Structure 1
């Protein structure tokens, strides 16, 4: 995927992240050295206008997980911070595909993240890779791992609404001590569980920066 992949939601756009196995890549990045073929790669679309936020040759990196409580159910947040830029992926807390990926990352003590940067009009895009360290031991949100799964459509709609409100961008706190956040990006993580929730005819490539719509009434 070389473009920014988004879901059209009348009228804002929501960025869609994915999990892809490393073995599906035609060529491996240098950051993948030492990782197994079945390592899940966490993917994030980036608009060309935001490419400068992902210049990661040097800097501090944090990788972690969190819990967000919505009316529709519990949401798992996967969070990466690179210097003063923070990226969220939102998914159902009980999604076995996500927990399997987390188990792989925890076992390897590292994750692999791909930022797909769309090119300017007439230019090809490119990818940036990051291999952050992964927290070890038990995770606090693991207590919810085997809970009753909510309706996929209901939790997807709740996450989509949350992504559109801009609340996460407003309330996000830095995971790196002494580093104030400059930008926050929010994705929905499209796993097999959620594919029936998405009209793939409505997924398009847009080179524009996402502008959130602010709403009230989200319950954490």
Structure 2
């Protein structure tokens, strides 16, 4: 299945439940200070993803463009895989990872973007962290010679290249990928770059290139 769109990626943020209007519904189910991975999308894409999945998986990995290491977070819901690209040196990202590792769970929320450019949260879920999670410590403490602007431009280049979709492989045995979504994780230090250079867009569904064995990628 493949759908055409004017972009290969979308912007995403780490947000708290109260910031996306779901705090009351999650009372007692989620600590109020636990960051939620958001996935902005349109109604058509969300319908294709669905809300009920017997198999889910969350994993970590690393990609590189030129001399910049990029941390990848990926969630698989059935045949849909969602990537978040993040700056491996970003302290805000590591703070979120530490909180997720402590709870052994990663919360996520889909936000449907309407025609007015606003978002509405329509679905929330939690994924257990895979046994690969401790391997992320191999990336902890990395430094970069790139300025924030250079790092941002390189993440944009990677997200827009289609490479992430082409190299994606399933993390769930016997369930091939049918679509891959890519997000750039916009933390506080990158919000100025996101607002100045690109408008917020919806994600595109793309056909996965392969359905290989699970692993860090």
Q: How many residues align?
A: 200
**Which portions of structure 1, spanning 4 or more consecutive aligned residues, are displaced by more than 4 angstroms?**
29-32
What is aligned with 1:141? 136
Post-superposition offset of 1:72: 3.9
Give the counterpart of 1:166 among 162, 167, 170.
Answer: 162
C-alpha contact 2:9 2:181 (8 A) present in aligned 1: no
Post-superposition offset of 1:155: 1.7
Rounded Cα–Cα distance in structure 2 between residues aligned with 1:86 and 1:184: 5
TM-score (normalised: structure 1):
0.79
Give the counterpart of 1:192 among 163, 188, 192.
Answer: 188
Q: What is the 5 A alignment of 1:105-184?
A: 105-119=100-114, 125-135=120-130, 139-149=134-144, 150-184=146-180
C-alpha contact 2:181 2:204 (8 A) present in aligned 1: no
Structure 2: runs of 5 or more not aligned:
1-5, 207-216
Please tell me whether residue 85 in structure 1 is matched to residue 80 in structure 2.
yes
Q: Secondary structure at the match of 1:164?
A: helix
Residues 36 and 138 of structure 1: CA distance in aligned 2, closer, same or farther (over 3 Å): same
Post-superposition offset of 1:195: 1.8
- What does the per-residue CA deviation read over 1:112-168, in whole Å, with 9 as the maximum and x for residues that have no partner? 1011123579xx955211111113586223222112144221121111111111111
Q: What is the 5 A alignment of 1:5-16?
A: 12=7, 14-16=9-11
Q: Secondary structure at the match of 2:128?
A: coil
What is aligned with 2:213? none
Structure 1: runs of 5 or more not aligned:
1-10, 213-219
Please tell me whether residue 38 in structure 1 is matched to residue 33 in structure 2.
yes
Post-superposition offset of 1:107: 0.7
- What does the per-residue CA deviation read over 1:58-93, in whole Å, with 9 as the maximum and x for residues that have no partner? 321001110112114100000000000000000111
C-alpha contact 1:106 1:135 (8 A) present in aligned 2: no
C-alpha contact 2:35 2:96 (8 A) present in aligned 1: yes
C-alpha contact 2:88 2:139 (8 A) present in aligned 1: yes
TM-score (normalised: structure 2):
0.80
Residues 44 and 138 of structure 1: CA distance in aligned 2, closer, same or farther (over 3 Å): closer
